[in-house]
Chains A and B, each alone.
Chain A
Amino acid sequence: MAAAFRAKKLDLGGFINVKIIRDHTKRKVFEQFEPQRQALRYIIRNTSLPQRMRTQAQLQLSQMSCYTRPTQIKNRCTMGGVGKGVLRAFRMGRFQFRMNALEGNLPGVKKASW
């Protein structure tokens, strides 16, 4: 299932491993199916619509691939693919952040002392 969603061409820069590719696929699939998800959500929540239609929409929504869910998306380190301890501002794991900061690759980031 997941392989069917995978893009033929990855628009990824930086570190690549299977987890990064999987996350990339999830982002793409979510983007593609977002309008459909929102339409179904609207139908489900709209109490003026017939109950049958709403239940059908519920069923459809629950049967959509899990890759279309936004909760599947996880920020990963662009330098090492690490999934935990990723700094949002730099899109890097904590250790990569430290190495790059000490090397001076991150503008303005310095060792702090106060």
Chain B
Amino acid sequence: MPELGSRKIQELPEIKEEGVSASASASPTIPPSPKQTPQRSNKTPTSRKARQDKSKSPEEEVAAIVSRSVQPLPQAEANSDADANTTSEPSTPPNVPPNVLAAYRTPLRHPLTHGVPVAQLQLRSYSVRNLEFYADFAVRAAFYLGLPCTGPAPLPRRRERWTVLKSNFVNKKAQENFERITLKRLVTVFDGQPEVVEVWLAFLRKWQFYGVGMKANVWQWEGLDVAGKMDRDFSALEKELDDKLRLFGFNKSSADKNDLLRIMAKQGHRQVGVGMSEVREGSRTTNDPY
């Protein structure tokens, strides 16, 4: 069950603008975010209560929470921007930015729309802490890119063991055991555009974490006319490809080696009374290539 608190924070600005558009039309768009921070921190306990007493669907719940949090807003707007922060009750917990607050909660997820897996990210590490941290990061990144995902699912651990003699010479009875456990986590992404999945993977690559290895399997849909599409893509790539291909080829010294007439003369034409084996003997080079 994902926490709904930080989702509420996300949706607040839009709904506030809709509901209080008449009064807030003149106010600039930037101020609302600092003003809402106290509101949010106040509302966190109430949202928990709301979830406990009502077992509604998440969307209804969010709507209810938002409607509650929106009502006090016009009063807050009456105050100037400067004292909006100070007007919050002194007994309330300190103002925490929503992004910091979200880090303390379970990562949010989008529900699956079609359930078609498009990418699987496998994370491997010898350290649980690094792995758990980075898997969490990957899930959060997927949420903010709008990708529904499942996981991190733990995969079977790979346990390697070595037994070596303790001494550098003889004494077989004194041995020591060592082991290395590779932990794995799997994050599966569903129903994403290929470009978005690429962005997600690039982002994870950019912020890759020490001691955590990554492997991604990506699946894409392709039309029936794959060859036609490749031909069209090729025309766009042609110029870049030519620049690369210009660097390959035969050098000048091999020009005479590849002369067709010369090769034929070397082989000798098949004539009356000359067996094919003779021709083949002549064509074979027995020179040492080195």
Contacts and interface: CB of A to CB of B under 8 A. Distances in A.
Given A33-B290, A36-B290, A87-B162, A107 B126 contact: yes
Contacts of A85: 164
A36 B286 CA distance: 11
A50 B211 CA distance: 59
A15 interface: no
Contacts, number: 49
Given A33-B290, A89-B160, A111 B176 contact: yes
A14 interface: no
Question: Which of the four size classes fits the interface of chain A?
Answer: 20 to 34
B277 interface: yes
Interface string A83-94: 001010100001
A36 B289 contact: yes
B160 to A, nearest CB: 7
B180 interface: yes
Question: Which of the four size classes fits the interface of chain B?
Answer: 20 to 34
Nearest to A80: B168
Nearest to B182: A108
Contacts of A33: 290
B161 interface: yes
B168 A95 contact: yes
Nearest to A110: B179
Nearest to A57: B286
A27 to B, nearest CB: 16
A82 B218 CA distance: 44
A57 to B, nearest CB: 10
A25 to B, nearest CB: 15
A108 B289 contact: no
Interface in B74-105: none
B178 A109 contact: yes
Contacts of A101: 178
A72 B161 CA distance: 29
Contacts of B277: 50
B181 interface: yes
Nearest to B162: A87
Select the residue from A33, A50, A98 with max chain B CB neighbours within 10 A: A98
Interface string A64-93: 000000000000000000000101010000
A6 to B, nearest CB: 15
A89 B164 CA distance: 14
Interface in B162-178: 162, 164-168, 176-178
Select the residue from A97, A101, A108, A113 with max chain B CB neighbours within 10 A: A108
Nearest to A106: B180
A35 B289 contact: yes
B290 A98 contact: no
Interface of A: 32-33, 35-36, 50, 85, 87, 89, 94-95, 97-98, 101, 106-113
29 contacts: A32-B290, A36-B289, A36-B290, A85-B164, A87-B162, A89-B160, A94-B164, A97-B162, A97-B178, A98-B166, A98-B176, A98-B178, A101-B178, A106-B180, A107-B126, A108-B126, A108-B127, A108-B180, A108-B181, A108-B182, A109-B162, A109-B178, A109-B179, A110-B180, A111-B176, A111-B177, A111-B178, A112-B178, A112-B179
Q: What are the nearest 4 A-B pairs in CB distance?
A: A108-B126, A112-B179, A112-B177, A94-B164
Given A33-B290, A110-B180, 16 more contacts: A32-B290, A35-B289, A36-B289, A87-B162, A94-B164, A94-B165, A95-B164, A98-B165, A98-B178, A106-B180, A108-B180, A108-B181, A108-B182, A110-B178, A111-B177, A112-B179
